[in-house]
């Protein structure tokens, strides 16, 4: 399954002022690997590809935007493998709901 996360936080250490009308700095892993990022993980599930491990910041599936007031947005794409129990007692009218749990260590 492909999962896209969007995280927003404020880091005043990243606020900046310029003499131009630049309101934000946009980038990918080149910027993301040089700033603090929240550590997401998927307990009970396997992260198959995010360019590596769920805490890896050096991949092409990361987009970060830093605003002049220190607000940060981070978009990441994960490819995960999840499993859930399925009962076919009402087949073909059955319905299945599987939960994907996401946690943060920070």
pLDDT at 29: 87
Give the structural domain span for 56. Answer: 2-84+95-104
CATH number (domain holding residue 30) = 2.70.170.10
pLDDT, mean of each 10-residue run, the chain (106 residues) = 90 92 91 89 66 46 94 90 81 83 80
Domain-located, residue 89: no
The per-residue pLDDT for 52 is 39
Instruction: Examine residue 90 and state whether it is found in any structural domain, yes or no.
Output: no
Number of independent structural domains in the chain: 1
Q: Identify the pLDDT of residue 61.
A: 85
CA of residue 70 relative to chain centroid, distance: 19
Smallest CA-to-CA distance from 45 within 5, 4, 102, 2 is with 102
How many angstroms separate the CA atoms of 80 and 24, rounded?
31
Task: In whole angstroms, give the CA distance from residue 4 to residue 40.
Answer: 12
């Amino acid at each position: 399954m492909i999962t896209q996360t969007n995280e927003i936080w404020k880091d005043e250490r990243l606020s900046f002022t310029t003499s131009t009308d630049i309101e934000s700095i946009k980038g990918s892993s080149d910027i993301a690997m040089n700033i603090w990022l929240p550590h997401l993980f998927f307990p009970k599930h396997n992260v198959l590809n995010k360019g590596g491990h769920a805490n890896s910041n050096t991949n092409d599936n990361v987009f970060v935007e830093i605003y002049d007031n220190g607000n940060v947005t981070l978009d990441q794409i994960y490819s995960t493998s999840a499993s859930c129990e399925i009962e076919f007692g009402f087949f073909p009218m059955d319905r299945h709901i599987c939960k994907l749990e996401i946690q943060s260590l920070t």
